[in-house]
Amino acid sequence: MFLVTEITAIGGLVLYGPVLGGADYVTGPGADGRVFLGALFELLLAAAVVGTGVTLYPVLRRQHEGAALGYACARLLEAAVIVIGIVALLSVVTIRQDFAAGAPGSDAASVRTVGRALVAVHDWAFLIGPNFVLGANTLVLAHLLYRARLVPRFVAVLGLVGGPLICASATAVLFGCYPQVSTVGSLAALPVFAWEVTLAVRLIVKGFEPVTPAVRRATVTA
């Protein structure tokens, strides 16, 4: 599930290039097929995000039921915000097609304005979901895995560093310090990317570490 989120997130962003990169998309020839494929990638992304919460919940609840439920709910919230962004960009395609078909009242200036507004909805959804919410749920999951020693410490530390860092980066973007898609933003996202890939490979290859009764009692008590 974690590997699917990485592949589909990057694939969706690349495929959305034409609609995200130009204000004239709605009045031009467009690349609707790419946008539809990007939307499909992001639907798979949303499903995989929910899947990580669902599949990890039975394991995490043995460590702390409240935190496990919070993680699952945060993943659901992240997926819901992603879907909002998908709907916004699909709406841009609809506006472009209506304009190309000569729909009444579709002048170029107004459709460009609406198109830019819908792209802005996607951009804000991307900032809230796969940045702020992702950072929070990364921190919760990494904290649980670190306390319970379910994975090697260095794996959990990647999440403990990456979660707050991507939240801090999202805050900087929110206040206009640098663009969302930028070199600085990409560097800030690297620890979370490394955390999810490393965790995924670890779980596929070896699974969780066995938890001793002493560690389980200490975790539950804490």
Would the pLDDT of 104 be above 80?
no
Mean pLDDT of 101-130: 88
Indicate the pTM of the whole model. Answer: 0.89
Task: Give phi and psi for 212, each to the nearest 5.
Answer: -75, 155
CA 167, CA 14: separation in Å to the nearest integer? 23
CA 170, CA 135: separation in Å to the nearest integer? 9
Alpha helix (H) ranges present in 61-130?
65-100, 108-127
Domain locations in the chain as residue ranges: 2-221
Share of residues in the chain with pLDDT > 70 (%):
93
CA 198, CA 97: separation in Å to the nearest integer? 42
- In the block, tokens 């794996």 appear at 155
Say how many C-beta atoms besides its own lie within 10 A of residue 59's C-beta: 16
Tens digit of pLDDT for each residue in 60-102? 999 899 999 999 999 999 999 999 999 999 999 999 998 888 7
Say how many C-beta atoms besides its own lie within 10 A of residue 3's C-beta: 14
Q: Which amino acid is at 24?
A: D
CA 204, CA 134: separation in Å to the nearest integer? 22
CA 163, CA 206: separation in Å to the nearest integer? 24
